[in-house]
Amino acid sequence: MVDKPTTIKLDQIAEVISREFKDKDVITCYLGSNAATPTAAIEALTAAVKAGNPRLPFIRMVHILLQGPVPYVEEGLQDRIMTYSIFSAGDVRKAANEGNAYYLPCTLANIDSLIGKGREYAPDLAIFKVRPHEITGEYSLGLSVEAMHTAIDQARCVIAELDFSMPFTEGQTIVDSQSIDYLIDDDDVKPVYAFPGPDFDNLPAEEMRIGELVTEHFIRDGVTLQAGIGQIPDAVVGTIKRAGYRDLGVQTELYGDGLMLLQKSGIVTNRKKKQHKGYSTASLIMGSQELYEFVHMRAGVQMRPCAITNAAHVIRINSPFISINTAMGVDLFGNVWADYIDARRYYSGVGGQPDFVRALNDPAYGVPIIAFKSITDKGESKIAKVHPPGVSLTASAYDPVVIVTEYGVADLRGLTAGEKALAIASIAHPKYRDEYLKELYDDPMFTKPVGFCLGKKPRGFIPYGGKVQVD
């Protein structure tokens, strides 16, 4: 006889935790994430924490990006519940900057090193969403696999929200019924988070120029792609579609509408991949309702833990590999940062960017691209003379990355420190470019390439040569 999970309602979750952990004063909980954030369970648990009834142990909440409200981070609850966020936005970002939440720096490939057996944040409790299969009765993690299997294996108590709004995805998403202790079957469970799909034909000019630069200079038939969600990856996708490349593969932490578009168009076939041949691999899926309908029961999109999708050896096996990520900024030495604005303003997390940068440390494997608009919405340059002191770096001056803005490409691979500075300065916004170049030229202590003069194109710099105009 196969053991089945005990069915409960949302208002019973605190009672279950109190009973299961009556012998403990402190527990660690790992939460499902991203589009599959178990918001209803979070809200029910927060209500019990606020009420102080039943008695609950102090709870350390560990997770990557959470969508929707996260009420337990509000001020005044930190003596009863505290978040340790690996990647943040919204409520959690605000709480971290106010001292009411902790940022736990870790790349996605290394989450197991935090939550595995005997590790500091090995979970006692796991809470996440599942979608049952209508025929087999199996449970799927759906949109969020990331490190959930490790969390489930370590947890003494496993609680899953039953959610039919989530697609049943293929690959390493299956959770057997014996591994789930409690199944929340409640009409008040909130659906997965869906977002409007991008208009790939009408993206802003700056992003379109970046897309053209990446596509023209780095995309080729048969390459394997990693791309995140956002206007810049969307622009790359749009230009790839128009360029008509063939037999692309996908191995990515996050699969969104853009990669779906390429797969629907027959441009992504995964035919040339050496590992996971014939299907796209991802650890997370997030985007539109159309995307969720596309991945439901689709063998051509399969899920893997981020310890696999972001593993250096798997990335290298699937070379030639093109990784496309963005960042908060880069300095003239080639240092890149993504999780902080400055040492006192936390923004998000390092995510998987360092995993792909380090995996592609030899051009034989592919190209790690960092792409962003040259200025912020406030007109401040994203290219700085030096990086903000105290921030962590997702790529350092010794990492062979390629930086792309709407003004061109700075291919830093194999350049000297002086050549890197000149190439990076050359892709800065015109408001700042001449100042940077002149300062580098006039500084007698700055080691410049022999024969360099203002107006001469530095090594590694490729200017934008297309037709898209920007203001």
The CATH number fitting domain 6-184, selected from 3.40.1080.10, 3.40.30.10, 1.10.150.130, 3.40.50.150: 3.40.1080.10
Closest CA to 339 of 320, 324, 353, 360: 353
CA distance 25 to 18: 10
Beta bridge partners of 8: 184
List the one residue out of 300, 315, 409 whose CA is nearest residue 360. Answer: 315
* CATH 3.40.1080.20 residue spans of the chain: 205-463
pLDDT value at residue 1 = 44
Beta bridge partners of 280: 301
pLDDT digits (tens, 9 = 90+) for 2-32: 578 999 999 999 999 999 999 999 999 999 9
Catalytic residue annotation: 253
Query: For the chain, which ranges sit under pLDDT 70?
Result: 1-2
Under CATH, which number does the domain 205-463 receive?
A: 3.40.1080.20
Please choose, from the candidates 470, 471, 449, the residue with its C-alpha nearest in 3D space to the C-alpha of residue 461. Answer: 449
Nearest one of 93, 91, 127 to 14, comparing CA atoms: 127
Residue 2 has what pLDDT? 57
Strand 125-132 to strand 81-85: parallel, antiparallel, or no bridges (unpaired)?
unpaired
Please, what is the end-to-end C-alpha distance for the chain in angstroms?
68
Strand 182-184, strand 224-227: pairing: unpaired
Structure tokens at 110: 């290394």
Instruction: Indicate where the chain has its CATH 3.40.1080.10 domain(s).
Output: 6-184
Cα dihedral 360→365→111→71 (10° resolution): 70
